[in-house]
Amino acid sequence: MMPGHARNPHELYYLRTQKAQQKMERSEKRLKERLRVCVATCNRADYSKLAPIMFGIKSHPEIFDLEVVVLGSHLIDDYGNTFRMIEQDEFDISSKLHTIVRGEDEAAMVESVGLALVKLPDVLQRLAPDILLVHGDRFDALALATAAALMNIRILHLEGGEVSGTIDDSIRHAISKLAHYHAVCTRSAERHLISMCEDHSHILLAGCPSYDKLLSAHERDDYTDIIKSWLGDDVKEQDYIVALQHPVTTDIKNSIKIYELMLDALISFNKRTLVLFPNIDAGSKEMVRVMRRKGIEQHPNFRAVKHVPFDQFIQLVAHAGCMIGNSSCGVREAGAFGTPVINLGSRQTGRETGENVLHVRDADTHNKIYHALELQFGKRYPCSKIYGDGNAVQRILKFMQSIDLSEPLQKKFCFPPVKECFSQDIDHILETQSALAVDLGGTNLRVAIVSMKGKVVKKYVQLNPKTFEERIELILTMCKQAMADAVHLNCRILGVGVSTGGRVNPQDGIVLHSTKLINEWSSVDIRTPLSSALHLPVWVDNDGNCAALAERKFGHGKGMENFVTIITGTGIGGGIIQHNELIHGSTFCAAELGHIVVSLEGPECMCGSHGCIEAYSSGLALQREAKRLHDEDLLLVEGMTLNNKEQVNAIHLINAAHLGNSKAESVLHTAGTALGLGIVNILHMINPSLVILSGVLAAHYENPVRQVISQRALLSAQGTKVMVSELEDPALLGAASMVLDYTTRRTY
């Protein structure tokens, strides 16, 4: 058409119609490109894990198309009709399937699986999802995975690879074999799946989705109102118990007996208790009968409920004096709050747990459970991030977007030999397990990210503030900066280790008495403010003990059962390892090696005594002697200069001795002898196989110490090895090792 020539109305109508059609086609194409994700939820427990993901999917309508299928006990009145909480969260439920055959025995569970398999094909065919999300280890979830696998629908299984002690193990692993992709909570679960021949490129180490909410939302302002609404107006925080016990389907008779003993112990313990009804597994009917026979629903100390909304349940668990039972919530979610937990029986055998969990495996007497309540009730523990760090949903959404729908659906199994237990290069998986290490020195405050192999990935140094408030604020600021940097450095922070001077109670994370170099740092609870602000478990110990731990993990003490570390710096300290364990003593005063007395009439020590090793051999003692010689014009020799503004210190004394100053040589000889005598005393008391000298003065004392041992020690101790540490940052590495070596299991 020539320029300026007007189009006729028919042509204009055609062009407008064509443009509208093209726009509609582009819109339809975009809709088709959206990932159709079906989330199927069977009960209140799995919804608490799936809901954060569902909210994440819903917040990205341009990427995902969410379909929700509800089945199982969600739709049963006896279990609270919990599908209503899904509707209250404003999710559109695509299908509700009544799949439970009542009876609460083994046959009813089998029939329920069969009924679900009959009903699911029509729903899945109608919804035609690209991916089906299945959670956990319930028999309902097994029906979902079976139906989807047979209908060639890709399955993403959440929380596979974990180990517990019931039929759930078999169901969980069966679902894992049917699933095409996996999002796991822990490194151990990832390794289990790899050892089960699952394709490691299809495994995401994400963490538990419920932790995304737990770590940010458990401290609601109205938590006291929630406690009162469920337990009564007279109940206070940390003065009540949450009890949640489920049947063990492989040992129903014993699990009912344990349930009865637990209720007896709770009645005797005489604290207000919220008892949740058991789940719908075989044996639950008998457990409810036990509860009613004991009059729990009418007992003034008990509140028996079928369901608590998850947001409120978080508050109840977070502020409880104790949680008891065999629910996975006790060994998983409760750790995020540091709530003390008593895990009864075998249902959670094999689960990774934090130090807040006390296991009563053979809960065969009322007295044993009662004693466990006495031990645990009212305690608080560091929060645990074993099962997540608050970023699981973000990882899972990104992982789903990376799934190639054009890839063949047929599963690939990776048979042995299996690669190292790391997921392949998915950029949002944080692979390097690391610790935040804090070293509180008299001059500087240091924070470092330390990897499992002892590599200092990044270090931060600031001058140590003078007041308590400024010091805590700076520690938090530096730790938060390190945590932010850790994401970009591909590091997963497991916890915080703090090394500080003075006497420390490591059990409670409290500095009892500090050194004079660190003001306002006595009777200080370090663990609580750090753990609360950073949502990480925190360990605290004396800098001498940390040096010994560093040597045990990364230095000369590796593989040694018995050794002693001596720190030679501004002060004299150390740590003792006996039978592979660090010795703290009854009042946390063990290994105060600088205060071993080697002379009845020696110089005054900073501790107030006389003749301590520290009064002879520490950097401050050498500085004192250097200043005395300088004041008497006996320090400087040919080759040394000292301007008026320069402060005399231990280095000047050492340099003078090396240049032939006999007075300085005599001071160093006395200092080395005093240290050697103290070490001889240690050899005679605990008979270690190795002595490690650490700190800035270690190399200067190595030969004098060996000489004193050869002259003064008993013949049987003269062969003890003396070595100088090769670690650059023993305090930081030791603080990190408290986190990296932390064991998560306790058995009662």
Each residue of 700-748: pLDDT tens digit? 999 999 999 999 999 999 999 999 999 989 999 999 999 988 643 332 2
Q: Say which residue, 538 or 501, is predicted with more confidence.
A: 538
Do 679 and 566 form a contact (C-beta atoms < 8 A)?
yes
Rounded (10°) angle between helices 44-58 and 310-318 = 120
Residue 84 reports pLDDT greater than 60: yes
Catalytic residue (choose from 212, 543, 729, 741) = 543
In the three-class reduction of DSSP (H, G, I as helix; E, B as strand; rest coil), residue 444 is classed as strand
Residue 493 reports pLDDT greater than 60: yes
Q: Which two tokens stand for residue 384?
A: 């645990």
Q: Say which residue, 152 or 251, is predicted with more confidence.
A: 152
Q: What is the pLDDT of residue 554?
A: 93
CA dist 152 and 149 (Å) reads: 5
Range name among 214-228, 425-439, 636-650, 661-675 with the lowest pLDDT average: 425-439
Residue 331: which residues within 8 A CB-CB, separation 6 or more?
341, 343, 348, 351, 352, 353, 357
Q: Model confidence over 573-585: pLDDT tens digits? A: 999 999 989 999 9
**Domains, the chain, with CATH or none:** 33-208 (3.40.50.2000), 214-376 (3.40.50.2000), 426-555+738-747 (3.30.420.40), 557-726 (3.30.420.40)
CA dist 192 and 190 (Å) reads: 5
Residue whose C-alpha is closest to residue 667's, from 610, 627, 698, 702: 627
CA dist 344 and 359 (Å) reads: 6
Is residue 607 part of an annotated ligand binding site? yes
Largest Cα span, the chain:
117
CA dist 248 and 481 (Å) reads: 45
Q: What is the pLDDT of residue 371?
A: 93
129 confidence band (pLDDT: 50, 70, 90): very high
- 543 is known as an active-site residue: yes
CA dist 486 and 548 (Å) reads: 26
Q: What is the secondary structure of 490-526 as a DSSP string?
A: TEEEEEEEEEESSEEETTTTEEEE--TTSSS-SSEE-
Q: What is the pLDDT of residue 424?
A: 43
Find the mean pLDDT for residues 444-453: 92
Residue whose C-alpha is closest to residue 189's, from 143, 136, 153: 136
β-strands 272-276, 240-244 pairing: parallel
Is residue 612 part of an annotated ligand binding site? yes
Q: Model confidence over 415-425: pLDDT tens digits? A: 765 445 444 44
Q: What spatial distance separates the first Cα and last Cα of the chain, rounded to whole Å?
A: 91
Dihedral angle computed from the Cα positions of residues 24, 29, 30 and 34, in that order, rounded to the nearest 10 degrees: 140
